[in-house]
Amino acid sequence: MSYQDEYKQKLRTADEVAVHVKSGDAIKYGYFNGKPQLLDKALAARHEELEDILVIAATMVPPIPEVIQHKNSFLYHDWHWSKLTRMMRNAHDNIIYGPVMYHICEHFVRSGEAANFKDPFPWTWQQVGPMDENGYFNFGPSCSEALSCIELAERVAVEVVPSMPKCLGGNNEAVHISQVDFIVEAPESQRIFAAPEIPPPTETDKEIAKHIIPHIKDGCCIQLGIGGLPGAIALSLGDTDLKDLGIHTELFVDAFIDLIESGQANGSRKQINRYKAVYTFAIGTQRLYDFMDNNPSLATFNVEYTNDPRVIAANDNFISINQALQVDMKCQVSAESMGSNHITGNGGMADYTLGAQWSKNGKSFICLPATRVDKDGNLQSRIVGAFQRGTTTTVTRHMVDYIATENGCKKMRGQNDWQIAENLIELAHPQFREELIKEANELNIWTRTSKIG
């Protein structure tokens, strides 16, 4: 049978696939822009006849999944909350978070450790690009854990999006038609989510970038985490004369485009995957997706590869840059919540914080603005004496290398408690330094001869 004949044999409408779902099933949606749209609508339409359905996904992007509108039928398990997830959680109490170090999420699937993942588990639904002449559907900018989930599911449905960019591998960037049970065709009008534009860096972003850029040398290999600050740093690199930079990251962002097109980031000095910008997923503007389409300078891999600290460390002079929400006087880092208010997720922050420090001459930077404005308009310090009850520690103090704010960049690794506290107070906004000195001393952070301050 030809691939085209097999395609016709497996072609279904979304309703024809959703009708096979039974109460109690777990359905793994593709992460990010791999989330199905037609299949989600068809499943939601059956809410009155279904119950106890677990939908597993990560990083909600528009359009909003329709299943979350029906809490009596569906529980939505999101491994990494986005702004949209937070907004939806305020209105729907059937959204739940699960912490995970991103590099082991494929192991979660294979081992059966993840919530309701069984071997095999019932369903995987994934948005993909059109089938090629060899019978493969490309995952586009959402490689991540997709193939592992497909390999272990009882039934697999792919939703074919005509405009999906073809993202070259790497590894595990596509699924063969022989591994697919059902094919659903999306209309030409269906698009993956593209951000309308990337906000320009703030003055605070630019100041933080100034403190990190001097640590980056010719030939360094760079990772950028999620958030505005890492993107601002990539843009700042374009204003330097740095050359031969490499890219190995979980998230590929718009800011990388100019670095590659200008020749600054050519990957020529990487120890592995030379001349390739390596990543596992991307979210950005349409310009980003157009740049990624059939681009041989990029290579997408499954997350078990990109985020393995041992793989990260294989490139010398690795620079990891991630963004946090708060840091306390003990140098514990929170990037997930503030008190019981859950905001985002760990993702690969711990993976790259560790991997960068295993790299020869590598450095890990955790950056954050020194302050925030609360809902009542009051200025609050992001560097605190102790976290509010319920705050999640994302990176333990023992793993922290550098902390950067607009007030400087300080080495934390290898420092004692007193030195760490002094460094953090210097990084804090001047308005809060006296208060932090008092809190540090109340926490018994001092040497035998002197107190903080």
Q: Which residue has the tokens 């999640």?
A: 392
| CA–CA–CA angle 36, 41, 42 (5° rounding) | 105
CB under 8 Å, gap of 24 or more: what pairs does 374-383 form?
Answer: 379/429, 379/431, 381/428, 381/429, 381/431, 381/432, 381/435, 381/436, 382/324, 382/325, 382/326, 382/327, 383/326, 383/327, 383/328, 383/329, 383/424, 383/425, 383/427, 383/428, 383/432, 383/436
**CA-closest candidate to residue 147, choices 110, 182, 101, 116:** 110
SS3 for 446? Answer: strand
Asked if 197 is an active-site residue, the reply is: no
H or E, element range at 231: helix 228-237
**Which among 14, 323, 334 has a CA at the least distance from the CA of 182?**
14
279 with 348: CB under 8 angstroms? no
**3-state secondary structure (DSSP) of residue 56:** strand
Contact assessment for residue 164 and residue 130, using Cβ atoms and an 8 Å cutoff: yes
Nearest Cα residue to 31 out of 177, 130, 140, 188: 140
* Token duo for residue 118: 């069984």
The per-residue DSSP string of 239-274 comes to TS---S-EEB-SEE-THHHHHHHTTS---TT-SSST
Q: In degrees rounded to 5, what are phi and psi of residue 209?
A: -60, -40
**Is 31 in contact with 40 (CB distance < 8 Å)?**
no
How many CA atoms does the CB half-sphere of 134 hold within 13 Å? 5
Select which of 106, 173, 207, 250 is catalytic.
Answer: 250
* Residue count (the chain): 453
Residues forming a β-bridge with 12 = 184
- Beta bridge partners, 55, equal 27, 76
**What would the two tokens of residue 378 be?**
């009051």
| Strand-pair category, 74-78 with 53-57 | parallel
User: Within 13 Å and on the Cβ side, how many CA atoms surround 434?
Assistant: 1
Residues annotated catalytic, as ranges: 250
